[in-house]
Amino acid sequence: MSERKAVVLVTGANGFVGRHVVPALTRAGWSVRRAVRSPEGTGDEVVIETIGPETDWTGALDGVDAVVHLAARVHHKHEEHAVQLYRNVNIAGTLHLARSAATAGVRQFIFVSTVLVHGRSNEGRAPFSESDILTPRGLYGMSKAAAEEGLRTLARDSDMKISVIRPPLVYGAGAKGNFALLTRAVDLGLPLPFGAIRNHRAFLAVQNLSSFILRRLTYPDPAGNFDIFLVADREQVSTPEFITRLADASGKRLRLFGVPTSLLTALLNVTGRQDAHDSLIGSLELNISKAIATGWQPQVSLDEGLRLALSAQDD
């Protein structure tokens, strides 16, 4: 009789990150149960229309060994009742799922948080590390920080091992947000005024995030039920360097010119885009030595990750 495959429930399975994590776990021998908002009719899937404090996870968690929680409310801060929605999904929903998983006998719970729990920039300071005091920015960052604290408390009274992963901007095929905007601008050959920026920022290829999740599932720490990791590509480069490498990967001619950062800052402040200022001009460096110490190594380089992102989008 063949040995039963370990079962992992992945929330947000049909989102950008989920569409990369699910096949990576499947290739590694896990039996993946996909939690989705609407049925796709492929493989082992459960429909979870909303994530919140009242969600019934009983059937979804039946026979599950591990949970990878990717689903979250993101980038809807101007939506009506946004504060309550972030609380319901990112805080109460996460903690309710984790409690339900612990009750169901799940052995491992991986929560993908965000580097924004540290703030948007570490300009003039040492790279962020897991031991830093948190200074979250925005509804999203604050909700993730609150969820982390709740998981820490839960881990004290549970046998379930909980890992928190704090990624920076994750790029890859299907990525939205700033990566999609930059890709579109480079593809169109638009002139970009970022050539004078001299910062250092961490980025994370979705393949590297997937491989770290797999590492935590495969080799959980024998001692302790709660741990936090900052994960990023090895290279942490400036905004213009990242755009240049993106253009090289796409084979497009880059039109990059320099505008003084003081002028860019003023323009972004006038337009109310402080978040854009931080993500374009500010530095965001991460110390990933703790993740490396687990035995994990980034599978792809920055250049390879960009090529994979763009080649997959062209298919």
Tokens describing residue 115: 């580097």
Q: Does 314 map to a domain? A: no
CA–CA dist 145, 134 (Å, integer): 8
- The parent domain of residue 121 ranges over 7-174+202-233+285-299
Is-contact 66 108, C-beta < 8 A? yes
Q: What are phi and psi of 62, to 5 degrees?
A: -65, 120
Q: What is the pLDDT along the chain (315 residues), one digit of tens a residue?
A: 457 899 999 999 999 999 999 999 999 999 999 999 888 877 899 999 999 999 999 999 999 999 999 999 886 655 556 888 899 999 999 999 999 999 999 999 999 999 999 998 888 899 999 999 999 988 999 999 999 999 999 999 999 999 999 999 999 999 998 899 999 999 999 999 999 999 999 999 999 999 999 999 999 887 789 999 999 999 999 999 999 999 999 999 999 999 998 888 888 777 666 666 778 888 999 999 999 999 999 999 999 999 999 986 544
Q: Tell me the CA distances in angstroms from 92 to 34, 85, 98, one per residue in order.
A: 21, 10, 10
pLDDT at 93: 98
Closest CA to 210 of 28, 5, 6: 28
pTM of the model: 0.94
pLDDT at 258: 92
Q: Tell me the CA distances in angstroms from 161 to 53, 117, 186, 212, 297, one per residue in order.
A: 21, 21, 43, 16, 22
From first CA to last CA, the distance across the chain in angstroms is 41
Q: Does 166 map to a domain? A: yes
Q: Is 140 a catalytic residue?
A: yes
Q: Does 315 map to a domain? A: no
CA–CA dist 246, 181 (Å, integer): 12
Total domains, the chain: 1
Q: Does 94 map to a domain? A: yes
Q: Does 254 map to a domain? A: no
Q: Does 2 map to a domain? A: no
pLDDT at 206: 98
CATH code of residue 46: 3.40.50.720
Q: Does 129 map to a domain? A: yes
Tokens describing residue 207: 């393949």
pLDDT at 271: 66
Q: Does 306 map to a domain? A: no
